[in-house]
């Protein structure tokens, strides 16, 4: 497996032993200014997209990759709320913020510092903000399960 | 302190006289002061948890107070304390696994790792642990005020109450900040490590910022309790000295020298009535010349080293002030040149303001006024009292008293620190 030059290989085992030994999952949410994104000339957008596809490959090689998606603009959002057993649909979130979630990477990393290293190499990072959220396990009767597990 | 309370137990021990008892208790106290933070730093690495490490540290000192009177103080108290604390923690974790069914496999592995920690408790390893603790407490993923509270608590060993008194914040607020910071370290898994070379400059910036924040809180007294304030400055200097020893980066050396140079003026900064005295009016004979003499070579070393940054430059400016026989006879041309370097490194309106004051000394108050007005016209520093105070001073020196009065008024409307307020009021009153 060839490691790319720009993505560091996984570092050796953790300093802390035991329960800290397993990798953590982090969701890297990419926030971008949609207006700025829409105004981007086609060749520039094309180059950015190509760099993201290339970055995916690097993350797979370095063992960090779990999942990644780019999202349609926030205007395409539908919100589902269930109240008193009834499904209520509304159009998108009403956040007044300029930057909206435009895509994500779900990664595996040894710790927050490694997650920061990965996040700071996301090609779109210089254009906006990357929010790193650690994933948590779902506990059932005192036993922790990865939230991606299919059944208890 | 923990040890003093636990020390009561000595009286039931085998010590023959109360005097010997007291002397042992004093020695344990001294060992606590010298070693408890080192021991804690290593325990956090070995146990992987701040709270478990603190409990284990406490238990180890209780054990020391119980056992040392009979067995004598061990040759290497630090190693004894680390080993004892680790086994206390293992006992605690084992008891927990007995009750918690099913047995947590990961916890079992952790116990095994603890029984054989795999790394000797040598001096080098322990010093690494102290640096790990500093970098973890100052991690930029933690809220800025939490970094300060956590560093003072874990690295410096101040109690929550002491931190609360120093920052004029209720103790539960400080406790809450520390609890939240520890939770984030655990949940986001902030690692207990010294950053790699590529990350070091950015991470070091955060460590130095925390140290300087602690120092400034002590230096720019916003409460009247001088003892607590000078203690904060002393803690900041101790912290900086520790980081200098472990990581002699030019910016660390620069900050250490800068704080020493500030500290050297402490006695001259206030008059008999506790009022602020400006650098211009300070009695330079009251400056601590030993501290200045010690700091100058550090400044020179920091400036001569690749990687020097804003702290080294600020230290060089402070050194020029420290070496000047008087305000008027200061090397203002050199100070302006250093501010130019500083602005190129880290552009900031506050640095521009300081540069304007130096320009006013080199070229006259009209030149300074022009620069301050340009900063204010950009819409910057309008709510910073010192910008208006500088403007007032320039106008006063130019004989434009009405403008000076108006500017002092603007500064007074913004100032919050009582001593600074009284200083500005006195200046305004002097204008008549």
The dihedral through the CA atoms of B343, B349, B354, B360 has a sign that is positive
Average pLDDT value for residue range B155-180 = 90
Do the interacting molecules here have an ipTM over 0.90?
no
pLDDT bucket at A151, cuts 50 / 70 / 90: low
**A111: chain B residues, CB-CB within 8 Å:** 189-191
The confidence score (pLDDT) of residue A63 equals 94
Within an 8 Å CB–CB cutoff, is residue A17 touching chain B? yes
pLDDT bucket at B210, cuts 50 / 70 / 90: very high
User: What tokens appear for B304 in the block?
Assistant: 């001569």
The confidence score (pLDDT) of residue B182 equals 95
Q: Percent of chain B beyond pLDDT 90?
A: 61
Q: For all residues of chain B together, what is the average pLDDT? A: 87
Within an 8 Å CB–CB cutoff, is residue B113 touching chain A? yes
Average pLDDT value for residue range B399-420 = 92
Between B420 and B378, where is the model more confident? B378
pLDDT bucket at A5, cuts 50 / 70 / 90: very low
The tally of CA atoms less than 13 A away on the side-chain side of residue A17 is 18
Please state whether beta strands A138-140 and A86-91 pair in parallel, antiparallel, or not at all (unpaired). Answer: unpaired
Average pLDDT value for residue range B35-46 = 92
User: What tokens appear for B389 in the block?
Assistant: 């105070």
Average pLDDT value for residue range A42-50 = 96
User: What tokens appear for B178 in the block?
Assistant: 């520390």
Give the DSSP H/E element, type plus range, for residue B59: helix B50-71
Phi-psi region of A144 (alpha: psi -120 to 50; beta: other; left: phi over 0): beta
As a whole number of angstroms, the distance between CA B145 and CA A61 comes to 39
The confidence score (pLDDT) of residue A12 equals 41
Q: Do B48 and A111 touch (CB under 8 A)?
A: no
Q: For all residues of chain A together, what is the average pLDDT? A: 84
CATH 1.25.40.10 for the B331-432 domain, yes or no: yes
Domain spans of chain B, in order of start:
10-108, 331-432
Q: Do A112 and B113 touch (CB under 8 A)?
A: no
As a whole number of angstroms, the distance between CA B153 and CA B151 comes to 5
The confidence score (pLDDT) of residue B262 equals 95
The confidence score (pLDDT) of residue A1 equals 34
Within an 8 Å CB–CB cutoff, is residue A5 touching chain B? no
The confidence score (pLDDT) of residue B418 equals 81
DSSP string, A19-85: GGSSPEEEEEEEEEEHHHHHTS-HHHHHHHHHHHHHHHHHHHHHT-EEEEEE---GGG-EEEEEETT
Average pLDDT value for residue range B89-111 = 66
The confidence score (pLDDT) of residue B15 equals 45
Q: Percent of chain B beyond pLDDT 70?
A: 87
Residue of B nearest to A24 (CA): B189
**Mutation for testing the A interface, residue in B89, B107, B189 having most A CBs under 10 Å:** B189
Within an 8 Å CB–CB cutoff, is residue B190 touching chain A? yes
From the list A15, A19, A21, the residue facing B192 with the nearest CB is A15
Between B317 and B158, where is the model more confident? B317
**A110: chain B residues, CB-CB within 8 Å:** 191
pLDDT bucket at B34, cuts 50 / 70 / 90: confident
- Which class in CATH covers the domain with range B10-108? mainly alpha
Question: pTM of the prediction?
Answer: 0.80
Nearest to B365 by CA among B333, B336, B390: B390
Q: Percent of chain A beyond pLDDT 70?
A: 82
The confidence score (pLDDT) of residue A95 equals 67
pLDDT score of A69 more than 50: yes
Within an 8 Å CB–CB cutoff, is residue B374 touching chain A? no
pLDDT score of B122 more than 80: no
The confidence score (pLDDT) of residue B432 equals 75
3-state secondary structure of A90: strand
Please write the tens of the pLDDT for every residue from B293-340: 999 999 999 999 888 899 999 999 999 999 999 999 999 999 999 999
User: For B116-157, what is the HEC assignment?
Assistant: CCCCCCCHHHHHHHHHHHHHHHCCCCCCHHHHHHHHHHHHCC
pLDDT bucket at B107, cuts 50 / 70 / 90: low
Within an 8 Å CB–CB cutoff, is residue A82 touching chain B? no
pLDDT score of B350 more than 90: yes
The confidence score (pLDDT) of residue B114 equals 67
Of B115-124, B236-245, B388-397, B415-424, the range with the lowest mean pLDDT is B115-124
Within an 8 Å CB–CB cutoff, is residue A15 touching chain B? yes
Give the DSSP H/E element, type plus range, for residue A99: strand A99-109
Within an 8 Å CB–CB cutoff, is residue A113 touching chain B? yes
From the list A17, A113, A132, the residue facing B191 with the nearest CB is A113
pLDDT bucket at B431, cuts 50 / 70 / 90: confident
């Amino acid at each position: 497996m060839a490691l790319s030059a720009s993505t560091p290989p996984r570092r050796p085992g953790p300093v802390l032993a035991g329960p800290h030994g397993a990798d953590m999952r982090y969701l890297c949410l990419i926030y971008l200014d949609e207006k700025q994104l829409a105004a981007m000339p086609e060749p520039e957008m094309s180059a950015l997209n190509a760099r993201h596809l290339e970055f995916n490959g690097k993350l797979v090689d370095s063992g960090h990759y779990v999942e990644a998606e780019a999202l349609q603009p926030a205007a395409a959002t539908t919100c589902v709320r269930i109240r008193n057993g009834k499904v209520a649909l509304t159009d998108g979130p009403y956040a007044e913020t300029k930057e909206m979630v435009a895509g994500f990477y779900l990664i595996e990393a040894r710790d927050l510092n490694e997650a920061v290293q990965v996040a700071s190499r996301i090609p779109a990072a210089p254009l906006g903000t990357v929010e790193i959220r650690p994933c948590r396990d779902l506990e059932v009767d005192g036993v922790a399960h990865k939230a991606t597990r299919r059944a208890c | 302190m923990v040890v003093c309370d636990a020390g009561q137990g000595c009286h039931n021990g085998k010590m023959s006289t109360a005097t010997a008892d007291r002397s042992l208790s004093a020695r344990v106290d001294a060992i606590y002061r010298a070693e408890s933070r080192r021991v804690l730093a290593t325990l956090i690495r070995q146990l992987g948890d701040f709270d478990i490490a603190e409990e284990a540290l406490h238990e180890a000192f209780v054990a020391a107070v119980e056992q040392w009177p009979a067995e004598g103080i061990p040759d290497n108290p630090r190693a004894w304390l680390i080993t004892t604390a680790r086994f206390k923690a293992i006992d605690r974790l084992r008891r927990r696994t007995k009750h918690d069914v099913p047995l947590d496999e990961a916890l079992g592995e952790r116990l095994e790792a603890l029984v054989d920690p795999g790394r000797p408790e040598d001096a080098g390893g322990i010093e690494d642990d102290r640096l790990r603790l500093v970098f973890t407490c100052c991690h930029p993923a933690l809220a800025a005020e939490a970094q300060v509270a956590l560093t003072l608590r874990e690295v410096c060993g101040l109690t929550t109450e002491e931190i609360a008194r120093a920052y004029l914040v209720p103790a539960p607020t400080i406790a809450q900040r520390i609890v939240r910071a520890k939770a984030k370290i655990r949940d986001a898994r902030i690692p207990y490590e010294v950053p790699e070379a590529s990350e070091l400059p950015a991470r070091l910036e955060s460590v130095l910022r925390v140290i300087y924040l602690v120092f400034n809180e002590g230096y720019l007294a916003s409460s009247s309790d001088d003892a607590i304030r000078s203690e904060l400055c002393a803690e900041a200097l101790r912290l900086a000295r520790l980081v200098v020893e472990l990581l002699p980066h030019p910016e660390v050396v620069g900050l250490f020298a800068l704080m020493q140079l500030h500290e050297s003026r402490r006695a001259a900064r206030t008059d008999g009535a506790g009022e602020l005295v400006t650098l211009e009016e300070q009695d330079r004979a009251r400056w601590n010349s030993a501290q200045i003499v010690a700091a100058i070579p550090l400044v020179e070393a920091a400036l001569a080293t690749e990687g020097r940054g804003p702290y080294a430059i600020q230290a060089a400016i402070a050194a020029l002030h420290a070496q000047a026989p008087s305000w008027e006879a200061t090397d203002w041309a050199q100070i302006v040149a250093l501010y130019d370097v500083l602005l190129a490194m880290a552009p900031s309106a506050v640095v521009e303001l300081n540069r304007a004051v130096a320009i006013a000394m080199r070229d006259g108050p009209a030149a300074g006024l022009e620069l301050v007005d340009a900063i204010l016209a950009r819409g910057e520093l309008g709510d910073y009292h010192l910008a208006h105070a500088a403007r007032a001073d320039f106008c006063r020196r130019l004989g434009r008293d009405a403008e000076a009065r108006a500017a002092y008024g603007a500064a007074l409307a913004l100032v919050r620190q009582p001593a600074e307020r009284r200083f500005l009021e006195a200046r305004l009153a002097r204008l008549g």
